[in-house]
Structure 1
Amino acid sequence: MSEPLSPASVSSEPVRSEPLGCNPRVEPFFDPVTSTVTYVVHAGRGTACAIVDPVLDYDPKAGRTSTASADRVIAFVREHALSVQWLLETHAHADHLSAAPYLKAQLGGKIAIGEHIRTVQGVFRGVFNLGDTLAADGSQFDHLFTDGETFQVGDLTARALHVPGHTPADLAYHIGNCVFVGDTLFMPDVGSARCDFPGGDAHTLYRSARRLLDLPGDTRLFICHDYPPETPPDTRPPRFETTVEEERRGNIHLNERVSEDAFVAMRTARDRTLAMPNLILPSIQLNIRAGRLPEPESNGVRYLKIPLDAL
């Protein structure tokens, strides 16, 4: 497996603080099965849009995919006469399958992710012994973003921010006064993502989070997952929008009073107690392929691999 990115791999370039173009409208779609939030980002009816982290439903007991979650997104896009320009992945998720290819077939748009997906592909090509069946060059995606690259969603100007630590390839998308942070930060009472996947690193995640928390305090942050506390009296319904100021003051893992060394010690100890995500084996195999399903074999059935005693 490849070595984790060093903390120095996090860009030291400040994130531009002024709004990038006009501010977007954001429509969230929460999937309770995987605790994932898909976002549609747009400037109003009849405009271009981006879809962030779309979910393909998967029943692991039956080995069947379905599209109810993605179809809700499609219905919204069509109802508001939106034109899909981008299907944005924040990283190769380990907890849900991507619906990007299905949405592209229905609505159009380019599937994009960060350029460091090549590192992730190289690691998992070995884990799943994919050999020549997987090119570890990112070519499965329509576009690979570099850190700081700007792009358009219609009249909205967006910027890709490399925020590694959870995985080497994590991106956040800064659009207007909104940042779609992927798994870099969670809601303040949930904290931060694990760093024990191949190429993950707690020092790197801390510095990535600090890069985001240096943004103006009123910057809106949209979270990829929410895991509400289950112990009364702190239970609450799912939430997925916060602000930089709320995170600075109250994030239980990464608030402004927490040092890098303290965070790394906490995160390392916590990660040792965590089980693997329920859908990590199917999710990773598909998501490093931009969500594309394996080709059917001679009997017309598609197959995924399950490595035994390997992870």
Structure 2
Amino acid sequence: MDTPWKHYKADVDSADIYAFLEPVTSTWQYIIVDPNTREAAVIDPVLDYDPASGTLSTIAAGILLKFIKEKELNVVRILETHAHADHLTASQYIKQMLGGKAPICIGERIKQLQGHFAPVYGLEPRDFVKSFDIFLKDEEEFSLSSNITGKVIHLPGHTPDHIGYMVGKAVFTGDSIFMPDLGSARADFPGGNAKDLFASMTRLLSLPQDYQLFVGHDYPVGRQHDCMATVGVHQTKNKHGKFGTTESQFIQFREARDKVLGAPRLLHPSLQVNIRAGKLPPASNGRVWLKTPTKLTNPNIPL
């Protein structure tokens, strides 16, 4: 029977990397493991949400938790790359199920998005209490185990708060870059910027050729889902940003492409939950109420 994960190792002395695909939103979730100490970190876990039925479930997170239990891992950090707009995060659930000790970490610029979206969803400062635990600074280094260190890389463009995580020769890029045949993520969310995204992709493609870039999503056509390509492969094959692509070419394409893209299916449920690290609104009679802000284009529409 096939395993629900793929295993990678960027170099001999580095962490073991396990990649788990959440197929509904085509999201890659990762668990990084120190093979010597069994200390681990979880990156971008998914909470399942069906908007048609309004059902929240923990299928994807359950697979991660089963793996953690079977491997007898000690999760020391839960890492978010950004406030996702296409899936809900399971960070709070994972933290709770692991005893509440593993801190949820994200880049410090999440505070900008919290300030922007709080009035959109009617959130108050108290609603952000006990959400994220650690706000990471650019280039900050942090311990994942007694042997392995992670480093924060600011990768804006898709969103302004977007960061990546460098662990040895492995880089977890979130939505700053996609697999080479797909190229790049959109840059039209609030605070997103095609110029910034090009700079972030250029930064990634300037790393040594044997570094491995692990993406946050994959939307394959004519192939199986994949999550990793080396910097060297991206340099020659990335559809939108390979070597020789100019900034103006990239911006022109990205902005034109973004104008014809529809809003993500889970945009509003995702954002109001993810800017709070997966913390849901208070439940009432066994239900949680998520908001969908609606613009009135005609003042005569009755309220």
- 1:153 is the counterpart of 2:140: no
1 CA distance for matches of 2:70 and 2:214?
23
Structure 1 residues 152, 132: closer, same or farther in 2, change over 3 A?
closer
Structure 1 residues 256, 280: closer, same or farther in 2, change over 3 A?
same
Give 1:56-75 correspondences, 5 Å limit. Answer: 56-75=47-66
- 1:290 is the counterpart of 2:277: yes
Structure 1 residue 66: Cα displacement: 0.7
2 CA distance for matches of 1:209 and 1:70?
29
Q: Which structure has more RCO (C-alpha within 8 Å, separation ≥ 6)?
A: 1
Instruction: Kindly provide the amino acid, as one letter, of the partner of residue 139 in structure 2.
Output: G
2 CA distance for matches of 1:209 and 1:161?
12
2 CA distance for matches of 1:227 and 1:290?
25
- 1:211 is the counterpart of 2:203: yes
Aligned to 1:51: 42
Instruction: Kindly provide the amino acid, as one letter, of the partner of residue 194 in structure 1.
Output: R
Structure 1 residue 20: Cα displacement: 11
- 1:85 is the counterpart of 2:71: no
Structure 1 residue 127: Cα displacement: 2.2
Aligned to 1:248: 235
- 1:303 is the counterpart of 2:289: yes
Aligned to 1:35: 26
Aligned to 1:125: 118
Deviations 1:42-97 (A, max 9, x none): 12265110000000111111111111111111111111111001110000001111
CA contact (8 A) 1:21 1:157 kept: no
Aligned to 1:112: 105
Deviations 1:125-183 (A, max 9, x none): 13223245545xx8621101000000011121110111111001001000011000000
TM-score of the superposed pair, with normalisation by structure 2:
0.90
Structure 1 residue 309: Cα displacement: 2.5
1 CA distance for matches of 2:207 and 2:296?
41
In angstroms, what is the RMSD of aligned CA positions?
Answer: 1.9
Unmatched 5+ residue regions in structure 2? 1-9, 298-303
Aligned to 2:263: 276
Aligned to 1:168: 160
2 CA distance for matches of 1:252 and 1:116?
29
TM-score of the superposed pair, with normalisation by structure 1:
0.88
Deviations 1:170-224 (A, max 9, x none): 0100001100000000000011010100000000111111111111000011110
Determine what percentage of the aligned residue pairs are the same residue.
43
1 CA distance for matches of 2:252 and 2:296?
26
Aligned to 2:169: 177
Say which SS state the counterpart of residue 126 (structure 1) adopts: coil
Instruction: Kindly provide the amino acid, as one letter, of the partner of residue 122 in structure 1.
Output: G
CA contact (8 A) 1:104 1:110 kept: yes
